[in-house]
Chain A
């Protein structure tokens, strides 16, 4: 009580002082506020850290960042968001957290902020945000419950949009006269041909470590090969023909991958590519910055980029993060201002130039950004094929994901039969879904 009285008087005094000098400044009421935000340890958010001082300079709002690895970040948020009053004013969340948070009523619906003329910037241009990501990360309540649609509404804004692209070693491909793979058949053939051509070098570096990594790598192949985890009635179909094909693709890639592939997490897989131990890398766009950083990479300037190869269809992953305002935050309005600033055209471009992943079409087409990062145009094209439904975003997904990841790891390391393994996953998934009530209406 006392504290809030004090802050309002202070703000009042500040406002009085401002009226004489400044023109209308939408940030004036919030000057001196300190926002506490929770961001992941991730290259995009490292770039955000570089541009935050700019925000403070422009608005007078201080930002204190709590950076955590994203799985830890999720644990922390689970706890913070459940309390009556939370510590965080703005959070970045992983796509699959959206279901949990929205379902538990822990994220603010953004409508009332965009309706407020004092807060919403008329030049924001929301149509410029990449559609697939807004649907994937921002919306909930529409089709399947977790996507956009007539019943949906907005809970967050994508920030740090990644998709999958194929990075390849231009020098190796030139040396042996190889074609950049366009389809999955070509990709798999090349993956196993490279270790023969270049002894000691792997074909494709992929994540494969037990749990989330293996599951992620599998889903990466599942969408383009035409598969899905569930059909429209929520029946698990991960064990159908396409599912088996995706798992076979993963196994082929890992078997022909660099040494130690079977235990690679994302970091190790990327490390292998940076070290020159592998000719291709099929994963997220965030790595581009590190590949061009001579203090981390030995392949600077040798890497070319291509779209995620096509199987039955084009379908690259939609990953990355969104930012939203917790329902129990203290400074919601100031948090909205930060959110709006970060995702505005100006903020998006700044973060792109600092090495982040832009979320707007205009930034991908921007001349200055493309000059600094020539791969940006390819990435922009890849984003158009991004598949918002490559992975289900439902509250029980965490459990299914863990089971899938563990089973696939057994397929890779213990030679578990693929069909048998996936049948097991499907059966257990059905149980989980049944318990969660997905078959109530059948």
Chain B
């Protein structure tokens, strides 16, 4: 084999293992799932033995109020989680963007919740929320305030709080990194012009951070749809369906109700929803960028 030919093949050698593995264990399964969603499929059958039922699983789900409730829980969870975390995380970053002693300790300690297994996070919070022996109700009790039914009536809120605890630091750290890489000259100029702290934040820092914040928010949004273990351990989706996000419903449909076909159809709905979201976000940012560019050119023309 000539050297030139070997060189031409090199990129393929470098890429091949990754491509093969992702094809076998990611893309093929996704295709398999689409195929499976058209079948009446029981876990004790192989897919070949299952009966082909066309779109029946999709129709069943579409008419199932529990599916819609689950979808709405998922959306509410994702919305509240991402918006609270963005506000808190960015707010803290703006507040703490100073050169003070202890900042590195804070950052280190802040990473901890993200690194710990979701299963463990779930069990810690399940303990703290426990109606009688849990930390929160005991504290309330000793203050003479009646306890709160955390994982009962307020289950969704409680689950959201746990997620905020775990993931606000992620946004904080990214926002802080973005803040610290802002061009110093712009801030100096603003300060010399006598802009107040609020004006600096509102007109300079936030707009300059925007690209990073959008990516961060998008990453968090994607991850919010992946949450499963924390909720599984804390509430198992209850009470009622109040915390049963779609990911959890997929796993219950597959293992508890033993309907793999329906679970596959459910997975496809979730994927479609996510796809719509991501594309929507992409489209929105593109549109905003285009608009900003137009305004800028217009400004320049005015000037």
Taking the complex as a whole, does A directly touch B, i.e. does some CB pair lie under 8 Å apart? Answer: yes
**Nearest 7 Cβ contacts at the A-B interface:** A260-B131, A210-B238, A82-B44, A263-B152, A262-B152, A410-B240, A409-B240
- B241 touches which one: A71, A104, A258, A406 (CB < 8 A)? A406
Q: Mark B14-47, 1 if CB is under 8 A from A, else 0.
A: 0000000000000000000000000000011100
* B186-207 interface (Cβ within 8 A of A): none
B153's nearest neighbour on chain A, judged by CB, is A413
- The stretch of A73-81, A113-121, A228-236, A382-390 in contact with B is A73-81
Cross-chain pairs A/B with CB under 8 angstroms, 13 sampled: A75-B256, A81-B44, A208-B239, A210-B236, A259-B147, A260-B130, A261-B152, A268-B130, A275-B133, A399-B257, A409-B240, A413-B152, A413-B242
Residues of chain B within 8 A (CB-CB) of A406 are 66, 238, 240-241
A79's nearest neighbour on chain B, judged by CB, is B43
Bound CA–CA A258/B43 (angstroms)? 40
Q: Is B132 an interface residue (CB 8 A)?
A: yes
Residues of chain A within 8 A (CB-CB) of B255 are 75
Q: Is B151 an interface residue (CB 8 A)?
A: yes
Q: Is B237 an interface residue (CB 8 A)?
A: yes
Report yes or no: A211 in contact with B236, Cβ–Cβ below 8 A: yes
Q: Is A147 an interface residue (CB 8 A)?
A: no
Q: Is A272 an interface residue (CB 8 A)?
A: yes
Give chain B nearest CB distance to A416 CB in angstroms: 8
Residues of chain A within 8 A (CB-CB) of B242 are 210, 413-414
Once A259-B147, A263-B152, A402-B256 are accepted as A-B contacts, the answer to whether A209 and B132 lie under 8 Å apart by CB is no
Give chain A nearest CB distance to B67 CB in angstroms: 12
- A258 touches which one: B44, B132, B240 (CB < 8 A)? B132
Residues of chain A within 8 A (CB-CB) of B238 are 209-211, 263, 406, 409
Bound CA–CA A177/B43 (angstroms)? 56
Q: Is A134 an interface residue (CB 8 A)?
A: no
Give the A-binding residues of B (Cβ under 8 A): 43-45, 66, 130-133, 137, 147, 149, 151-153, 155, 235-242, 252, 255-258
Q: Is A374 an interface residue (CB 8 A)?
A: no
B238's nearest neighbour on chain A, judged by CB, is A210
Bound CA–CA A414/B66 (angstroms)? 15
Residues of chain B within 8 A (CB-CB) of A104 are 44
Q: Is A277 an interface residue (CB 8 A)?
A: yes
Bound CA–CA A79/B238 (angstroms)? 26
Report yes or no: B151 in contact with A263, Cβ–Cβ below 8 A: yes
Once A78-B44, A104-B44, A402-B257 are accepted as A-B contacts, the answer to whether A210 and B237 lie under 8 Å apart by CB is yes
Q: Is A398 an interface residue (CB 8 A)?
A: yes
- A398 touches which one: B237, B239, B258 (CB < 8 A)? B258
Q: Is A280 an interface residue (CB 8 A)?
A: no
Residues of chain A within 8 A (CB-CB) of B43 are 78-79, 82
Report yes or no: A259 in contact with B44, Cβ–Cβ below 8 A: no
Bound CA–CA A71/B252 (angstroms)? 11
- A259 touches which one: B131, B235, B239, B252 (CB < 8 A)? B131
Give chain B nearest CB distance to A326 CB in angstroms: 13
Give chain B nearest CB distance to A81 CB in angstroms: 7
Residues of chain B within 8 A (CB-CB) of A71 are 256
Give chain A nearest CB distance to B252 CB in angstroms: 8
Report yes or no: A260 in contact with B152, Cβ–Cβ below 8 A: yes
Q: Is A412 an interface residue (CB 8 A)?
A: yes
Report yes or no: A262 in contact with B149, Cβ–Cβ below 8 A: yes
* A258-289 interface (Cβ within 8 A of B): 258-263, 268, 271-272, 275, 277
Report yes or no: A260 in contact with B132, Cβ–Cβ below 8 A: yes
Of B240, B252, B258, the most chain A CB neighbours within 10 A belong to B240
Residues of chain B within 8 A (CB-CB) of A261 are 152
Report yes or no: B240 in contact with A413, Cβ–Cβ below 8 A: yes
Residues of chain A within 8 A (CB-CB) of B137 are 259
Report yes or no: A209 in contact with B258, Cβ–Cβ below 8 A: no
A413's nearest neighbour on chain B, judged by CB, is B239
Report yes or no: B149 in contact with A414, Cβ–Cβ below 8 A: no
Once A71-B256, A398-B258, A402-B257 are accepted as A-B contacts, the answer to whether A259 and B132 lie under 8 Å apart by CB is yes
Residues of chain B within 8 A (CB-CB) of A259 are 131-132, 137, 147, 149
- A263 touches which one: B66, B239, B257, B258 (CB < 8 A)? B239
Report yes or no: B257 in contact with A210, Cβ–Cβ below 8 A: no
Report yes or no: B149 in contact with A260, Cβ–Cβ below 8 A: yes
Bound CA–CA A146/B231 (angstroms)? 36
Residues of chain A within 8 A (CB-CB) of B151 are 260, 263
Bound CA–CA A78/B255 (angstroms)? 9
- A210 touches which one: B153, B241, B256 (CB < 8 A)? B241
Report yes or no: B256 in contact with A262, Cβ–Cβ below 8 A: no
Report yes or no: A210 in contact with B240, Cβ–Cβ below 8 A: yes
Give chain A nearest CB distance to B6 CB in angstroms: 46
Residues of chain A within 8 A (CB-CB) of B239 are 208-210, 262-263, 409-410, 412-413
Bound CA–CA A260/B45 (angstroms)? 41
B46's nearest neighbour on chain A, judged by CB, is A82
Q: Mark A336-350, 1 if CB is under 8 A from B, else 0.
A: 000000000000000
Give chain B nearest CB distance to A400 CB in angstroms: 10
Bound CA–CA A398/B155 (angstroms)? 25
Bound CA–CA A104/B42 (angstroms)? 12
Residues of chain B within 8 A (CB-CB) of A260 are 130-132, 147, 149, 151-152
Residues of chain A within 8 A (CB-CB) of B133 are 271, 275
Bound CA–CA A258/B256 (angstroms)? 29
Report yes or no: B241 in contact with A398, Cβ–Cβ below 8 A: no
Bound CA–CA A291/B130 (angstroms)? 21
